[in-house]
Amino acid sequence: MLVLGATGAVGSATCRRLVARGATVVAAGRSATDLEALAAETGVATRALDVLQPGAVEALVAEVRETHGRLDGTALLVGSILLKPAHLTRDEEFEETLRLNLWPAFHLVKAAGRAMAATGGAVVLVSTAAASTGLPNHEAIAAAKAGVEGLARSAAATYAPRGIRVNVVAPGLVEAKMSARLFASAPAREASLAMHPLGRLGQPEDVASAVCWLLDPEQSWVTGQVIGVDGGLAHLKGRNG
C-alpha cells in the first residue's frame, strides 16, 4: 500500500491501521523528521515527496510498483483549509488551493491507472463535507474538493474494466494540527460541535478507518462512492438547527 500525506494526522493513523492488518506500506510525505518518527514507530518504508513537484507522484507510484512487483492500493491524504468568502480570496490563494487539493489527486489517478492496469487495486482520495453542503466561506476548498469527487466518479467508470476501484472519503471537521486554529477558542469549539449532529468533532482514526475499509480488497464491489465521515454534517441538521 502507498500512502501519500502519511505524516499528517489522518495519514499516520492510516499507516498504523494498515500495518496492524499486515500490509506492506510505503509512506510518503514532505517532512523527513516526521517520516523518520513514523518509520521508527510502525516499520513502514518511507519516501520524501512533494506532491506539487511535476512528475513526482507518477514517479513514486512507478517506483513502488517496480520495487514490490505490484501496487494493491494507494491513498492521497493531502489537503489544506482556506476559509474566506470568494470576494476576499486572492487568485493566488485559489490557485494554491486547487494545486494542493485537486492536482495531486488527478496525478495519482493517472499513475494508478497505469500501475494497476494488470492487477487491479484501490485508490482512495479525500474530499470534505463542504463539497456537498453549503458552508459559509468555503468557496475555494469546496470547489477544489468537488473537483476531486467528480474526478473519482469519472475515473471509477473509466478504470472499472481494469479492476481498479476509485472512492472518496469526505470528512467533517477533524481535530488535527491543520484545523486547530478553527476551534482554538471555547466559543469557536462550541460552534463547531453544534454543526455536527453527533455532537463531537472527528478524530483522525475515524477517517483512517474509512480509508482502510475502502482500500481493503474485501470491498471489491465498492467503487465511485463518496463516503461521508462527518458526524452527519453534510446531510443532517446540526444541533444549532
Query: Which residue in 205, 211, 204, 201 sits closest to 232, CA to CA?
Result: 201
Residue 193, pLDDT score? 83
pLDDT tens digit string along 53-104?
999 999 999 999 999 999 999 999 998 889 999 999 999 999 999 999 999 9
What pLDDT is recorded for position 203?
Answer: 95
C-alpha cell at position 231: 458526524
| pLDDT in the model for residue 241 | 58
pLDDT at 30: 94
Q: Output the pLDDT for position 192.
A: 79
Q: What is the pTM of this model?
A: 0.94
Burial of 87 (0-12, 13-18, 19+ CB in 10 A): exposed
Per-block mean pLDDT, blocks of 10 residues, the chain (241 long): 97 98 97 96 97 96 96 95 95 97 97 97 97 94 97 98 98 81 74 86 96 97 97 83 58
pLDDT of residue 180: 65
Cβ atoms within 10 Å of 122's Cβ, excluding its own: 26
Mean pLDDT of the chain: 94
Q: Listing from the earlier edge strand, what are the strands of the sheet with 26-29?
A: 45-48, 26-29, 2-4, 73-76, 121-126, 164-171, 226-229
Residue 179's pLDDT is what?
A: 65
Domain 2-229 = CATH 3.40.50.720: yes
Q: Give the residue extent of every domain in the chain.
A: 2-229
